[in-house]
Chain A
Amino acid sequence: MIEATSPAAQSRPASRPALEQGRLTWGGLALTAYAVGIYLFLYLPIAILALFSFTRDQFGVRWTGFTLDWYVRLLANERLMGATVNTLYVALVSTFVATVLGTLLAMAMERYRFRGRTTVDTLIYLPIVIPEIVMAVALLAFSALAFDLIRLLTGETLRRSLTTVIIGHIAFSISFVVVVVRTSLKNFDRRLEEAAADLGANSWNVFWRVTFPLILPGVIGGALLAFTLSLDDFIISLFLSGPGTSLLPVEVYNKVRRAVTPEINAISTLMLVLSITLVVLSQSVQRKQ
Chain B
Amino acid sequence: MALNTLERERQRRERRTLAALLAPGLLWLTLFLALPLMIILAYSFMTNGPRGNIVWQFTLGNYIDLFTRSIYVNAYLRSIWISILTTLICLLLGYPLALFIVRQPPRWRTALLFLVLIPFWTNFLVRIYAWQILLANNGLINGALSSLGLPPLTLLNTEGATLLGLVYGELPFMVLPIYAALDRFDFTLMEAAADLGASKRRAFWRVMLPMTMPGVAAGSVLVFIPTIGQFVVSELLGGAKVDYLGNLIQRLFLRSNPPNWPLGSAMAMAMMLALLVLILVYFRATTEENR
Contacts and interface: CB of A to CB of B under 8 A. Distances in A.
Interface of A: 1, 3-5, 9-10, 12, 14-20, 28, 31-32, 34-35, 38-39, 41-43, 45-46, 48-49, 52, 59-62, 100-102, 104-105, 107-108, 112, 114, 120, 123-124, 126-127, 129-135, 137-142, 145, 167-168, 170-171, 174, 178, 203, 228, 231-232, 234-235, 238-239, 249, 252-253, 256-257, 260, 264-265, 268, 271-272, 275-276, 278-279, 282-283
Interface of B: 14, 17-18, 20-22, 24-26, 28-30, 32-37, 39-40, 43, 93, 96-97, 99-101, 103, 105-106, 110, 112-127, 129-134, 136, 138-140, 143, 168, 171-172, 176-177, 179-180, 183-184, 186-188, 190-191, 221, 225-226, 228-229, 231-232, 235-236, 246, 249-250, 253-254, 261, 264-265, 268, 271-272, 275, 279
B122 A272 contact: yes
Contacts of A38: 93, 97, 171
A252 B126 contact: yes
Contacts of A12: 183
Given A171-B28, A260-B133, A131 B115 contact: no
A98 to B, nearest CB: 9
Given A34-B100, A140-B253, A127 B33 contact: yes
Nearest to B27: A101
User: Which 9 A/B pairs are nearest by Cβ-Cβ distance?
Assistant: A131-B229, A138-B36, A142-B36, A105-B25, A45-B130, A108-B21, A279-B121, A49-B130, A101-B25
Nearest to B33: A171
Contacts of A43: 115
B264 A137 contact: yes
A41 B129 contact: no
Contacts of A142: 32, 35-36, 39
Nearest to A250: B125
A132 B28 CA distance: 17
